[in-house]
């Protein structure tokens, strides 16, 4: 009987925890969309940095750029695709992820530039049309 009670409590805590995470993800995604629409680069930087932090590796590689785009697409109701890796020849070089989603009857499309720091870790660089 004691084990059944513990099992039920564990299942309840797990379901409550999962529900809160889903609500939190939805709030973050809505904030992300609003930040993209308003071109709030600092807020987009904060949220992209959170996505990067959840990846198994944040090293600046093609594979991790693809993983970042996939993570954004899976967690939020939007299209996200890596357009190019290390293709913008600046110092340091940059990559691009294209984001698109519906806002009412309008399609919002923006590009997020990803670069890297001195430890070769991906970082947000810019947001533009």
pLDDT in the model for residue 41? 98
pLDDT in tens, 64-98: 999 999 999 999 989 999 999 999 999 999 999 99
Q: Span 90-108, mean pLDDT?
A: 96
- Three-class DSSP category at 61: coil
Distance CA 81, CA 117 (A): 22
- Between CA 18 and CA 24, with CA 23 as vertex, the angle to 5 degrees is 95
pTM of this structure: 0.81
- The more confident residue out of 116 and 14 is 116
Q: What is the CA radius of gyration of the chain?
A: 18
Segment 33-74, tens digit of pLDDT: 999 999 999 999 999 999 999 999 999 999 999 999 999 999
Distance CA 19, CA 13 (A): 10
pLDDT reported for residue 24: 62
Phi, psi of 112 (to 5 degrees): -105, 125
Q: What is the predicted pLDDT for the residue at 1?
A: 54
Residue reference for tokens 């939805």: 26
Overall average pLDDT of the 1-15 stretch: 45
Cα separation of 60 and 40, whole Å?
24
Q: Which of 38, 64, 53, 59 is nearest to 127 (CA)?
A: 38
In this prediction, residue 25 has a pLDDT band, given cuts at 50, 70 and 90, of confident
């Amino acid at each position: 009987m004691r084990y059944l009670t513990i099992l039920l409590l564990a299942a309840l805590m797990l379901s409550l925890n999962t529900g809160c995470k889903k609500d939190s993800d939805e709030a973050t995604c809505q904030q992300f969309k609003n930040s993209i629409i308003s071109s709030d680069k600092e807020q987009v930087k904060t949220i992209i940095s959170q996505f990067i932090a959840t990846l198994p590796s944040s090293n600046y590689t093609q594979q991790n750029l693809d993983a970042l785009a996939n993570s954004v697409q899976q967690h939020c109701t939007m299209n996200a695709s890596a357009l190019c890796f290390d293709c913008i020849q600046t110092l340091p070089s940059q990559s691009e992820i294209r984001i698109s989603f519906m806002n009412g009857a309008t399609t919002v499309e923006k590009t997020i530039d990803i670069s890297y720091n001195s430890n070769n870790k991906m970082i947000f660089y810019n947001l533009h049309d």
